């Protein structure tokens, strides 16, 4: 089973729910478990929130999400054209936050890594960030 989708939306916090819903609906053809849907929704939420809060610093911009299903593996790519990340390794450390005064927990990448089978982050300061996440949906899910 192969499928593909792509959508863009303004980098506004209220659109995080839209992203979660679209990405969850996209995998329904694979008959995932409730846990698998919840894990994907949470990982997408973290990636989109990072784009809005850190990438655009709550300024105007666009977030793009691409989804690809190949067999029973889903890949999501969350991309922004925001400020980028200077030190990806540092940013991926648990509890690290670039906005300590903003009550951020610094667990976004750790959560994405915990809930997805694969996580890759690419970024160029001043040009944006791309987060690639993959998850295999179990055969006997439903």
Which pLDDT tens digits describe the chain residue by residue (142 residues)? 699 999 999 999 999 999 999 999 999 999 999 999 999 999 999 999 999 988 898 688 999 999 999 999 999 999 999 999 887 787 776 655 665 555 555 678 889 999 999 999 999 999 999 999 999 999 874 4
Catalytic residue, candidates 46, 72, 79, 93: 46
Catalytic residue, candidates 36, 39, 50, 79: 50
pTM (2 decimals)? 0.88
Catalytic residue, candidates 57, 66, 72, 104: 104
Residue 104 appears among annotated catalytic residues: yes
Residue 3 appears among annotated catalytic residues: no
The one-character DSSP state at 50 is H
Residue 120 appears among annotated catalytic residues: no
**Given this model, what pLDDT does residue 141 score?**
47
**Given this model, what pLDDT does residue 85 score?**
87
Q: Residue 4, class by beta-carbon neighbours within 10 Å (0-12 exposed, 13-18 middle, 19+ buried)?
A: exposed
**Given this model, what pLDDT does residue 32 score?**
97
Sign of the CA dihedral with 57 first, then 52, 105, and 113 last:
negative
């Amino acid at each position: 089973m192969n499928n593909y989708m792509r959508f863009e939306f303004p980098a506004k916090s209220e659109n995080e729910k839209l992203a979660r819903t679209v990405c969850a609906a996209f995998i329904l053809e694979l008959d995932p478990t409730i846990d698998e849907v919840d894990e994907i929704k949470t990982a997408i939420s973290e990636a989109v929130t990072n784009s809005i809060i850190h990438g655009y610093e709550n300024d105007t911009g666009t977030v793009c999400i691409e989804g690809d299903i190949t067999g029973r593996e889903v890949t999501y790519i969350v991309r922004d054209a925001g400020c980028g990340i200077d030190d990806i390794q540092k940013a991926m450390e648990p509890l690290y936050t670039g906005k300590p005064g903003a009550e951020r927990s610094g667990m976004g990448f750790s959560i994405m890594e915990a809930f997805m089978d694969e996580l890759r982050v690419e970024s160029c300061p001043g040009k944006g960030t791309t987060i690639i996440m993959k998850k295999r949906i179990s055969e006997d899910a439903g």
